[in-house]
Amino acid sequence: MNRKKGLAALCMAAALGGSVLTACSGPNPSSDGGDSGKVEEIVFAMPSFNRIPDDLSRVANAINAITVDKIGVKIDYRVYGPADYAQKVNLALQSGEKMDIFTTLGQFSNYVSKNQVYALDDLLAQHGKEMTAILDKDFGPDLLKANTINGQIYGIPVNKGMALPISFVYNADMLKGAGFSADDIESAEDLPAVFEAVKNANPDVVPFGPINVNPSDTNLVNLLKGKHKVDFLTDTTGVGVVVGDDGKVVNFYETDLFKNGARMMRDWYNKGYLQKDAATTTITSMEMIASGREFSFLGGYSGLEIGKTISAQSGKNVEAKRISPFYFDTGAVNAVSWMVSSTSKAPEAAVKFLNLLYTDEKLINTILYGIEGEDYVKVDEHHVRFPDGKDANTVPYTAMFSTGIVGSESLQYQFEGVSWSDIELKLRENKETERSPYFGFIFDQSQVKTQISAVNNVVNQYLPGLVTGSLDPETTLPKFVKALNDAGAADLIKSKQEQLDQWLASQGK
């Protein structure tokens, strides 16, 4: 063991008690003009769901060729897998390591209340004009409200199809075999008859399943949200929501809406439309559909191409039918937001880069697909495919699964086979989807952290059982509500109501 080095390091580490941690914190008013000559370097952390190549330098160089030329900023390009991303970025932020641009890993408002992110207003006006322009064009002028707290903008939502109406996703062959057609399905009320017929025609097939497992989620809550205009007011517990526009914060699980929804699921469950173990199964609907064992699930998707995509993925003839509209509350829009760290030494450079990230077609597509000719080939103006003989696993670089995470969807290339008109539809729906009157309200949880943690625990305990129908709402709901109240739901609702009233007053409503 190298004792000398160890001792030296020890002495340095002793300094830890003093200045080190504070040295790497505090907002840094950018002192350098950053106009000419000097190239600033910033760290940009990107999540990728594809295989991450060993050597990123090729793509990093291509990115830098664009950014250094256009804005005089050099990018330290980091790509992390979905599981690593949160951990690595959080550690960097918490330890004060250099980390300039990252995306939302938890709830947006948490970053703001802990002062982890930089207020962007002034810099946006200076360096982000093109970006705000494209956000206006693709979504509407109100987009950044979703990231505004106390009049300051703290992040930029990814610019994509944000409306995710609930679709009924089903095996089309089975539907036909049961004597129904897509036209027979308009809403969730039409489904039991279909399930019954499918079940009779295919006794081994499970008519309906949860889209996500562990914890199981059937999308019942999202279905109710869209249909009945429920605003979750940015925290996902569901304990403080507003239904419609009456401005009254209530516990969603105490409403008749939720009760009826849970009853519907219970009814489905009792009739055998769901697996007995739907609340705890380890197999997702996607896998069940692919194996031919399941008929349908509910999913929230933008655009209308999802049936085609899932067909390709599952090898079954899958179609999707929308059965509920979408409703924009703040959380639906700021769920994926790009932010600049409050510890950034070069916030100006960071904003310049963000500006490019939303507006530069070449930059966006280099990040997503790599280098033309090596990692992808162009088919036409909007479409690309892998070079001959390559696929997502063997191509040197691709981050194609991150299309919903980064940049502007309207500037992204699409994979061969995806209809371009779908993109236009998504953008139109961005503008046409109804906004909640409380769109832009962001709940600051920091005053009720203890209650939120206890409430989260209770929701975790009861919700998967209720949304899959495996728990009887008649007996479980009262217990659930009581447990929520014991956990401090009232404090949470009160705090939220106060903040909401203040926000409404400040909006002049």
Partner 1 sequence: MIQTRGERTFVLFSAIMMGLVTLAAFLPFVLIVVASFTKESSLINDGYSFFPKEFSMDAYLYLKASAYTFLRAYGVSFFVTIVGTAVGLLITSMLAYPMSRRDFKYHNTLAFVVFFTMLFSGGVVPSYIMWTQYFHIKDTLASLIVPNLLANGFNVLLVRNYFKSNVPIDLIESAQIDGATETRTFFRIMLPLSVPVLATVGLFMGLAYWNDWINALYYVSKPQYYGIQNLLVQLMNNIQYLNSGQAGSALGAGSVDLPSSAVRMAMAVLGIVPILVVLPPMQKYLTRGVVIGAVKG
Partner 2 sequence: MRHEYGRPSEWRKTAPLLMLAAPGLLYFLINSYIPMFGVFIAFKDINYAKGIFASDWVGFDNFQFLFKTTDAWIMTRNTLLYNLAFIVLGTVISIFIAILMSELLRKLYSKLFLSGLVLPNLISMVVLSMLVFAFLNADSGFVNKSILRPLGLPELNWYSEAKYWPYLLVFIQMWKTAGYGSIVYFASIAGIDKSIYEAAKIDGAGKLRQIRTITLPLLKPTVIVLGLISIGRIFNSDFGLFYQVPLNAGALYSTTQTIDTYVYRALMQLNDIGMSAAAGLYQSLVGFMLVVVVNAIVKRVNSENALF
Residue ranges in 201-220 that form contacts with partner 1 under rule CB under 8 A: 204, 211-212
- When CB distances are held under 5 to 8 angstroms depending on the partner's kind, the choice from partner 1, partner 2, none that residue 314 binds is partner 1
As to burial, measured by CB atoms within 10 angstroms (0-12 exposed, 13-18 middle, 19+ buried), residue 383 is middle
Query: CB pairs under 8 A, 24+ apart, for 361-366?
Result: 361/411, 362/66, 363/63, 363/66, 363/67, 363/407, 364/406, 364/407, 364/408, 364/411, 364/412, 365/411, 365/412, 365/413, 366/59, 366/62, 366/63, 366/66
* 13 makes contact with partner 2 (CB under 8 A): yes
Tokens of 261: 């929804």
CB of 149 vs partner 1, minimal distance in Å:
25
Give the Cα-Cα-Cα angle 352, 354, 355 (nearest 5 degrees): 65
Stretch of 90-98, 356-364, 449-457, 498-506 contacting partner 1, by CB under 8 A: 90-98
For partner 1, the closer of residues 265 and 318 by Cβ is 318
* 291 makes contact with partner 1 (CB under 8 A): yes
For partner 1, the closer of residues 165 and 347 by Cβ is 165
Q: How far apart are CA 472 and CA 477, in angstroms?
A: 8
* 174 makes contact with partner 2 (CB under 8 A): no
CB of 154 vs partner 1, minimal distance in Å:
23
Q: Which of 385, 425, 483, 490 binds partner 1 (CB under 8 A)?
A: 385
- Count of alpha carbons within 13 angstroms of residue 352, beta-carbon side: 21
As to burial, measured by CB atoms within 10 angstroms (0-12 exposed, 13-18 middle, 19+ buried), residue 1 is exposed
As to burial, measured by CB atoms within 10 angstroms (0-12 exposed, 13-18 middle, 19+ buried), residue 381 is exposed
Question: Which x/- pattern over 227-266 shows residues binding partner 2 (rule: CB under 8 A)?
Answer: --------xxx-----------------------------
Stretch of 187-195, 223-231, 306-314, 467-475 contacting partner 1, by CB under 8 A: 306-314
Stretch of 36-44, 217-225, 257-265, 448-456 contacting partner 2, by CB under 8 A: 448-456
Q: In 3D, which of 91, 76, 90, 87 has the Cα closest to residue 40?
A: 76
For partner 2, the closer of residues 238 and 370 by Cβ is 238
Residues of this chain that interact with partner 2 (CB under 8 A) are: 1, 3, 6, 9-10, 13-14, 16-17, 21-27, 90, 93-94, 96, 105-107, 110, 114-116, 214-215, 235-237, 275-277, 279-282, 342-343, 445-446, 449-454, 456-457, 460-465, 470-471, 483, 486-488
